[in-house]
Amino acid sequence: MKINIVTEYPLWFIMLCFLLGIAYAMILYYRESKSEFSKSLKWIMAVFRGLTIAVIAFLLLNPMVRTTTHHSEKPIIIFAQDNSLSVITGTDSNFYRSEYPQTMNSMLDRISSSFAVDKYTFGESLNKDFQIDYSDKLTDISALFRDINSKYAGQNVGALILATDGIYNRGLNPLYSTDKFHFPIYTIALGDTNIRKDIILYKVNFNSIAYLNNDFPVEVLVSAYKCHDATTELTISSRDSVLFRRMINIGSDTYFETLNLHLKANVPGLQRYTVRLTGVDNEVSQTNNYQDFFIDVIEDRQKILVLSQSPHPDISALKQAIVTNRNYVVEEYIVDEFNKEVSGYNLIILHGLPSVSGNISNILEKIAIEHIPVLFMISQQTNLPLFNRQNTGIMVKGDQIFFNEANPEINEEFTSFNLSRSTLQAVADFPPLISPYGNSVIQPSANILFYQRIGEVTTREPLLIFNQSAESKFGIFCGTGIWKWRMFDYSKTGNHEAFNEIINKSIQYLSVKADKSFFRIFCKNSFTENENIEFNAEVYNDNYELIFIPEISITINDGQNRNYSFVFNNSGSAYSLNAGKLPVDHYSYSARVQVGEKIFTDRGEFTVTPLTIESVNTVANHNLLYNLAINSGGQMIYPHQILALYDTIIGSDYIKTITYSSKSYSEILNFPAILLLIIIFLMAEWFMRKRAGAY
């Protein structure tokens, strides 16, 4: 520690302080004529008075005490062990379960004697507990690097020791994730780079939704290594029935084939299908010979009718967005050409209707009778007085309605559905619509998604608004020209995702029938085996108000008829349940709640699917590990060289203790000792004068 006194004034100002004290003392005591003061006493009192004045003058310079401290930070060695299943997939699994951990721990003990060592395992995520059991179903090396960079930013990291087989199946290429590292990476190359005899069900591509009694496509990718002239049988089965069977003759040692086939959706609901390849003799692993996939078979698609007064580019933009969702079928008509019954549709979009020139009162009456959801798009052709009588949640009034260019402005309090962050950011730049500006009367039940922004002024006039009455749902686009939104979205991002999300979320909200049940359980249809099974629930009273008093119990039943019972967590504002991870199987559940004398139940099912991605690729990627090491100034070694790694790290020029200096400042005026010193000087002088009989 080093202490200095500093001030913002030149150092010679300190001499002035002492000169001021001397001058003051000399003037005071030079003129002192009392004979009772001896000459020596005068000098002593003058010294005390001079020091007092000098110290006070020095304090007026606002001097600071600068304290400089030095501390050393030893380098940290980070050790990250791959804990994924692929490490032990090969023939040397016994080595990695027994001998390798002992050798690794011996090396880490030696390094710990000289440096600080932080140990982690990684696979699906970074773990501090360092329990090595090779159980992780995924490997994300880039996530490991990202976590290390965040956790050790600004610290003295000497090196990263990365023990892995180089196989990753999640995240970015690790080579592109080390640009912020300023320390070497030493890689321990685990696994085997030899290609062994193996038949692999590489991937199954499918659509997650199919429609009852329709054929749906399935693409099966098959690969094989060192299985020349072998034969395997591909089967696809569901509910103990084989739906597809084909023999595959493997014609080379490096074989790959893509099979395109079609299956028929005969049973509604969530259906489980198993794709399997029969094994061959001496195959290194058969865990990559099968995969399950799940398809939600829907009984019927929702039909959407688009009626317009005249052709308009908005119609095409709407249709192209809606058909990206396979749940919907879109039909479009000019209103004069429409001769069908509206009762066959789940949602009706009226563009520019009702219009001044076209009378659709009969269609509006049938819509009201059938309680069909409607999305109105108000244009300059719209008959506003007739529109105002439809009780949609908004009335556009005024003696003279003007149509202006209005940009969308997000309403932060909108609650009917959520838009993604990227879509909300995109909307801020969307071009204006041609919108009516008048005196809008909005019902309290209505929910505004976009306000109108005219120029730089955000108004309270809605641009897109939704309303739900007791029996019907309405959406109102107060303007036309949304085709420009679609084109602008593509010009900025190269896709239509933001525009499609706005339209499809709006369509979904309007077309989904309201669930009026008093008890609901919410759960996904499918989980992977590394996911926690999570539920949410809602309970309503007779006034259809959410309540959080009764206890909700649930029983989960697996394929072997075993039951797992749970009780929902009640936070006072929501019901939730995390049932943890469950084995791969198909499950059903039954939930129960009692509200007063009434008992409500809800049932459902879900499936836990296996993760086999770690067994698809069994060939270690040591080339990746070599490049990671060389690019960072490190070195790649093999498991039998682990004990020599200590000498390599000790001799590295990168791994050094760093000494930091820190400075702190404090005002001398705040030191009590200075005040005490001034008081002592003044009291000493006063005491001498009193003792000599003076005042």
Residue span of the structural domain in which 21 resides: 2-69+665-691
Give the per-residue SS3 of 26-40.
Answer: HHHHHCCCCCCCCHH
- Angstrom distance (rounded) from CA 253 to CA 244: 26
- Same domain for 87 and 210? no
CB neighbours of 215 closer than 8 A, spacing ≥ 6?
A: 262, 263, 264, 265
Element (H or E) spanning 309, and its range?
none
Report pLDDT for 145. 93
Report pLDDT for 161. 95
- Same domain for 214 and 330? no
DSSP tally for the chain: helices H, then strands E:
15, 35
What the block records as the tokens of 479 is 């303007």
What the block records as the tokens of 670 is 């705040």
- Angstrom distance (rounded) from CA 185 to CA 633: 7
- Same domain for 457 and 339? yes
Average pLDDT value for the chain: 87
The residue count for the chain: 695
Domain assignment of residue 88, yes or no = yes
Q: Is the pLDDT of residue 609 over 60?
A: yes
Residues paired with 333 in a beta bridge: 307
- Same domain for 16 and 128? no
Q: Is the pLDDT of residue 294 over 90?
A: no
Q: Is the pLDDT of residue 467 over 90?
A: yes
Report pLDDT for 684. 81
- Angstrom distance (rounded) from CA 287 to CA 137: 12
Map residue 363 onto helix, strand or coil.
Answer: helix
- Same domain for 306 and 430? yes
Which of 298, 316, 340 corresponds to the end of one domain?
298
0.95 surpassed by pTM: no
- Same domain for 419 and 503? yes
Q: Is the pLDDT of residue 226 over 80?
A: yes
- Same domain for 488 and 541? no
- Angstrom distance (rounded) from CA 279 to CA 277: 6
Mean pLDDT of 108-127: 91
- Vertex 96: Cα angle to 93 and 101 (nearest 5): 160
Q: Is the pLDDT of residue 4 over 80?
A: no
CB neighbours of 438 closer than 8 A, spacing ≥ 6?
A: 396, 397, 398, 401, 402, 461
Q: Is the pLDDT of residue 516 over 70?
A: no
Share of the chain above pLDDT 90, in %: 44
- Angstrom distance (rounded) from CA 396 to CA 379: 12
Residues paired with 184 in a beta bridge: none
Domain assignment of residue 614, yes or no = no
- Same domain for 480 and 379? yes
Residue 32: pLDDT band (50, 70, 90) is low
Report pLDDT for 429. 93
Mean pLDDT of 507-519: 80
Phi and psi dihedrals of 161, rounded to 5? -100, 115
Domain assignment of residue 629, yes or no = yes
- Angstrom distance (rounded) from CA 61 to CA 674: 14
Report pLDDT for 694. 64
Mean pLDDT of 37-50: 78
Residue 693: pLDDT band (50, 70, 90) is low
Which residue, chain included where needed, has tokens 């929702």? 302
- Same domain for 245 and 343? no
- What confidence tens digit (pLDDT) does each residue in 347-376 have? 999 999 999 887 788 999 999 998 899 999
- What confidence tens digit (pLDDT) does each residue in 543-593 have? 778 899 899 999 999 988 899 999 999 988 899 999 999 988 889 999 999
Q: Is the pLDDT of residue 515 over 70?
A: no
Mean pLDDT of 437-441: 85
CA 261 to chain centre: 36
Report pLDDT for 31. 65
- Same domain for 412 and 340? yes
- Angstrom distance (rounded) from CA 625 to CA 113: 27
List strands edge to edge, sheet with 569-570: 519-522, 534-539, 575-578, 569-570
Residues paired with 216 in a beta bridge: 263
- Which residue would you say has higher pLDDT here, 627 or 291? 627
- Same domain for 188 and 266? no
Domain assignment of residue 44, yes or no = yes
- Angstrom distance (rounded) from CA 255 to CA 253: 6
Mean pLDDT of 114-135: 90
Which of 267, 298, 329 corresponds to the end of one domain?
298
Q: Is the pLDDT of residue 695 over 60?
A: no
Q: Is the pLDDT of residue 84 over 70?
A: yes
CATH of the domain at 286: 2.60.40.10
Report pLDDT for 79. 96
Map residue 451 onto helix, strand or coil.
Answer: strand
Spell out the alpha helix ranges (H) of 549-671. Answer: 613-616, 622-632, 645-650
Residue 448: pLDDT band (50, 70, 90) is very high
- Same domain for 444 and 580? no
Residues paired with 660 in a beta bridge: 71
Split into its structural domains, the chain has a count of 5
- Angstrom distance (rounded) from CA 331 to CA 304: 6
Q: Is the pLDDT of residue 263 over 70?
A: yes
Residue 599: pLDDT band (50, 70, 90) is very high
99: region left, alpha or beta (phi > 0 left; psi from -120 to 50 alpha): alpha
Question: Strand 241-249 to strand 658-667: parallel, antiparallel, or no bridges (unpaired)?
Answer: unpaired
- Angstrom distance (rounded) from CA 107 to CA 641: 10
CATH of the domain at 325: 3.40.50.880
- Angstrom distance (rounded) from CA 231 to CA 229: 7
- Angstrom distance (rounded) from CA 92 to CA 80: 20
Residue 184: pLDDT band (50, 70, 90) is very high
- Give one DSSP letter per residue of 395-419, joined into a string: EEEEEEEEEEEEEEEE-TT--SS--
Report pLDDT for 556. 96
- Angstrom distance (rounded) from CA 432 to CA 437: 13
Long-range contacts of 31-39, Cβ-Cβ distance < 8 Å, separation of 24 or more? 34/692, 34/694, 36/692, 36/693, 36/694, 37/692, 37/694
Mean pLDDT of 631-644: 91
Residue 517: pLDDT band (50, 70, 90) is confident
Q: Is the pLDDT of residue 34 over 70?
A: no
What the block records as the tokens of 89 is 């997939």
Domain assignment of residue 456, yes or no = yes
Which of 511, 538, 563 corresponds to the end of one domain?
511
Report how far apart, in Å, the C-alpha atoms of 645 and of each of 93, 136, 623, 652 are. Answer: 23, 27, 19, 11
Which residue, chain included where needed, has tokens 């682990």? 642
Residue type, 421: R
Which residue from 399, 505, 361, 519 is spatially nearest to 447, judged by alpha carbons? Answer: 505
Question: Strand 585-595 to strand 552-557: parallel, antiparallel, or no bridges (unpaired)?
Answer: antiparallel
Report pLDDT for 618. 76
Q: Is the pLDDT of residue 423 over 80?
A: yes
What the block records as the tokens of 680 is 């002592």
